[in-house]
Structure 1
Amino acid sequence: MNTPTDSSLAALATYLAARREAILNTWRTACQNDPACNTIASLSREEFNNKVPFILNVFDQRLRQLALDADIKLLSEEHGLHRWQKGYTLQELLSEIHHLNQVLLDEFRQYWQHDPTPEIDRISQSYEYLSWFKTLSISGSVEQYTDLQRLDASNRVRLLQQALDDLNELTRQRGDLLRTASHDLRGSFGIIEGAASYLNLVEADEPERKQMLEMLNRNLTTVREMVIQLMDLARLEAGQESLSIQSFNAGQLLHQLIESYQPLAEEADLMLKADGPAELMVESDPFQLQRIVQNLVLNALKHTRSGWVSVSWVRESDYRWLIGIQDSGPGLPNQDAGSYSQALAPIPESSAAFGVPIPEADARAIAVTQAPKAAKGEGIGLSIVKRLCELLRASLEIETKAGEGTLFRIRLGLHWKAQ
């Protein structure tokens, strides 16, 4: 360190050091009395002072003409960052700095008024140092705060743009879904119309009439199911589905549900198996849970040509449980970045059942924003499942592999917490 060369300024520094606590307390009082400073009341003494004592230490070194061991501007930037994190407005920060400099200015005046041998040059030099202190403390704090405001504004614009893009993408996906459903409905109605017209022909023999009736009934059933699905999806998207949360035995419900589908599995020459504890008490909506499992199981039975469909459930932790619906079907089509299988791939903490790589976060983000192109009739049912999972605050994951099948994994909370 250098040896002080100016006794008058060193004496001023000694005076300010002796007045440090009074300066800090007077500064806080001035801020508390300022209507523009509203956040101060929630700060402790240490939080309020923050970097200011260190800034005053550097100012002390400058007055004593010693080597500076820190940069006032950098310390002020840290102070501005702290105020940003505490929720200060820019006006509050500026008012606070103004009061600090005003307190120091008053201390300077009091000191020089009581100095028995004031030296004009030294007085002038001390005020130059005070001006230096004021400039750096303001510029450092405000520049940091302004940068943070600019960054925050940029992030808000980015988030708003992302929300707008997501909304546009959702609108486009809904349009694609409705166009596909309309196309399927037109096709089914065309078959129905053709079969009905053929039945009106007098020359049609009994076997042909029976075949047309079967075709008519089959397509009427398809149309009915699709219309019901569209109505269900519309209610879910409109937020018109209500929940009836209660405590129930999920193990018993699932065992009974799968047992009721055994005739359908036997008719399709498939093996349908249920694995899970007979007793698993959970808090949820049993009806909506049943709808999720029903959609996935019936879809698996419909698209699996041979082999098996299995439904399993387990208590994963003290807070969560999961259901898995897996089949040996052909797997979901369209393994591009926009397919459901990537958009709803297992989260990183999950273990993929098929041993296939899990997409990275960027791939997932791309997948979520791109439109899923599901097979005929598949998009509506899966959209309903996704909406029902959102309704029950459950996560839905999909693993699929061509020629080996598909796994749907649903994670739910054991206990329902009101929001």
Structure 2
Amino acid sequence: MMTSSSTVESNSLIRLATYLATRREALFINWQMACKVEPALKGVARLSRQEFTSNVPLMLTMLEQRLLGQDQEVQVSLLAADHGLHRWQKGYTLAELSMEMQYLGRLLLEELRVFWQLYPSTDSRLMTSVYEHFAAFNNQISTGSVGQYAELHRIAASSRVEALEKALAELNEASLQRNELLRHSSHDLRGGFGAIEGAASLLEMGIESEQERKQMLEMLLRNLTNCRLLVTQLMDLARLEAGQESLNIQPVDAGLLLTNLVVGYQPLANKNGLLLKADGPASLVVECDPVHLQRIIQNLVLNALKYTPTGWVAVFWTRENEDYWLVSIQDSGPGLPTKAGWCAQTVGPTAHVSGLCSPHKGEGLGLSIVKGLCELLRANLEIESKPGEGTLFRIRLAIRWQP
């Protein structure tokens, strides 16, 4: 049977719990006002009343239950952690969250002081115990919310470190690929100049056979052409990487430009025994740099004609919608070598790389120039390739240029 002392204590705790329940609305108003006038708490202005109070009403209910002898410690910790998550999602800083919780703790202790003034007959030992409950509660909700926020911050920081490490690895890989590209180009140049030097020496020595003399002249001309192309590509790539390529955006009939370009390469296609097809509207007026556009298509068509042993090369263009148009170059060649046997890659201002393709030997400079020019024109370059089945280059460009 409950003693008189226990009954008095129980009644006092019930009275306190009831008082806190009646003061809850005023507590929330005072808490929100205190936070709003605090210059350091900028995030409060972005929250509605319901968002601001978050899980605090439930936590106060559990405090009241705890005063009545019902253990709610675990539930309070979970609610506090959820409050910290909410503030993280709303863009609070850790300092803002900590200050906000301090204001709540002070106001709770102030309510306890007012209660004691209203009921001075409350046993002092009981009030000391209640103060300890309040202090523990304040500590629990503060550490729970701030701790959750700090953990989220740690996870985000870890993710940023991983992203930076990934970006650094990609930069290192790009640097290695560039060095390999230049090494191959230097090797090709040395080989070309070596062939030129050999042919020139034989011509200087004198060749009696007219056929041999003609062969040496053809070798000399062929290697001079290849070396000139390599040097030109190296200079183009250097200008792109240095940001020295300028844009001359103007209305361009892409249909006419592409049609003429394909017609111009028909003799080379016929010489290589390939079918070169063109398919697209005769007229397609867009805003673009005609020189850079032509360089992109030339590089891709020439590579396709050069590395496709038999079959066909197709150039297709169309208006995709009101904002974009497409041009594609596809071949039935050997495809781009890749370990997986298939690759898909996207390059451009909004691109997401889904795989990496290694260019044909000797083709790397041309493809690097194409990628650089696509970025300059804010175009997306999509590459799909499968060894033995060919390669598709799809370029998406804006119809109207946005400065």
State TM-score, norm by structure 1. Answer: 0.85
Instruction: Tell me by how many angstroms 1:290 deviates.
Output: 1.9
Pair 272,143 (structure 1): closer, same or farther in 2 beyond 3 Å: same
Matched ranges for 1:13-412 at <5 A: 13-65=17-69, 68=72, 71-332=75-336, 334-337=337-340, 342=343, 344=345, 367-368=355-356, 373-412=358-397
Deviation string 1:342-374 (CA, Å, 9 cap, x unpaired) is: 25279xxxxxxxxxxxxxx9xx76x44xxx653
Structure 1 pair 112–383 and aligned structure 2 pair: CA distance change class (3 A)? same
Over the residues paired in the alignment, what is the CA RMSD in angstroms? 2.6
Contact 1:58–1:70 (8 Å) recurs in 2? no
In structure 2, C-alpha distance between the alignment counterparts of 1:126 and 1:247, rounded to whole Å: 80
SS of aligned partner of 1:16: helix
Of residues 79-88 and 96-105 in structure 1, the stretch that sits farther from structure 2 once superposed is: 79-88
Paired with 1:416 and 1:62, the residues of 2 have a C-alpha distance of 66
Counterpart residue type for residue 209 of structure 1? R
Instruction: State how far apart, in whole Å, the 1-side matches of 2:322 and 2:102 are.
Output: 54
Distance change in 2, residues 1:65/1:281 (3 Å): farther
- How has the CA–CA distance of structure 1 residues 416 and 19 changed in structure 2, closer, same or farther, with 3 Å as cutoff? farther
| Pairwise CA distance, 1:67 | 7.0
Secondary structure of 2:215's aligned partner: helix
Q: Is the 8 A contact 2:203 2:216 kept in 1?
A: yes
Alpha-carbon distance change, 224 to 139 in structure 1, aligned in 2, over 3 angstroms = same
Contact 2:343 2:385 in 1 (8 A): no
Query: Does the Cα contact within 8 Å between 2:43 and 2:92 map onto a contact in 1?
Result: yes
The CA deviation string for residues 250-288 of structure 1, in whole angstroms up to 9 with x for no partner, is 323322322222232233332211111234343433332
Instruction: Give the Cα separation in 1 of the matches to 2:387 and 2:207.
Output: 47
- Structure 1 unmatched ranges of 5 or more: 347-360
Answer yes or no: is the 8 Å Cα contact 1:311–1:324 preserved in 2. Answer: yes
Q: Give 3-state SS (helix, strand or coil) of 2:343's partner.
A: helix
> Which SS does the other structure have where 1:344 is aligned?
strand
Kept in 1: contact 2:346–2:380 (CA 8 A): no
Letter in 2 for 1:344: Q
Q: 1:64 to 1:284 in 2, by over 3 A?
A: farther
Query: What letter matches 2:393 in structure 1?
Result: F
Contiguous gaps of at least 5 residues in structure 2: 1-6
Q: 1:168 and 1:278 mapped to 2: Cα distance?
A: 44
Per the alignment, do residues 54 and 283 of structure 1 end up closer, same or farther by CA in structure 2, a change over 3 Å counting? farther
For 1:68 and 1:310, locate their aligned partners in 2 and report how far apart those are by CA, in whole Å: 73
Return the alpha-carbon distance in structure 2 between the equivalents of residues 177 and 36 of structure 1. Answer: 54
Structure-2 separation of matches of 1:56 and 1:77: 15
AA aligned opposite 1:374: P
State the shift of 1:106 in Å.
0.7
* Residues 198, 204 of structure 1: 8 Å contact kept: no
Query: Partner letter of residue 336 of structure 1?
Result: K
Q: 1:285 corresponds to which letter in structure 2? A: D
Q: Percent of aligned positions with the same letter in both sequences?
A: 55
Query: Counterpart of 1:407 in 2: which secondary structure?
Result: strand
2:324–2:397: 8 Å Cα contact kept in structure 1? yes
Query: Displacement of 1:84 after TM fit?
Result: 1.5
Query: How far has the Cα of 1:319 moved from its partner?
Result: 4.0
3-state SS of paired residue (1:282) = strand
Match of residue 3 from structure 2: none
Deviates more, 1:293-302 or 1:187-196: 293-302
Letter in 2 for 1:105: L
Give the Cα–Cα distance (whole angstroms) in 2 for the partners of residues 203 and 156 of structure 1: 68
Residue 6 of structure 1 aligns to a residue in which SS?
Answer: helix
Given that residues 207 and 213 in structure 2 are in contact (C-alpha distance below 8 angstroms), is that contact kept between their aligned partners in structure 1? no
CA distance in 2, matches of 1:402, 1:111: 82
- CA positional deviation for 1:150: 1.2
| Matching residue's letter, 2:118 | H
Q: Is the 8 A contact 1:184 1:376 kept in 2?
A: no
Which residue identity is paired with 2:379? A
- Of the two structures, which has the highest relative contact order with CA contacts closer than 8 Å and spacing of 6 or more? 1
3-state SS in 1 of match to 2:298:
helix
Contact 1:232 1:384 in 2 (8 A): yes
CA distance in 1, matches of 2:216, 2:268: 24
Shift of 1:134: 0.8
The Cα offsets for residues 67-93 of structure 1, whole Å up to 9 and x where unpaired, read as 759811111111111212222222221
User: Could you tell me how far 1:15 is from its partner in structure 2?
Assistant: 2.0
Counterpart of 1:8 in structure 2 is 12
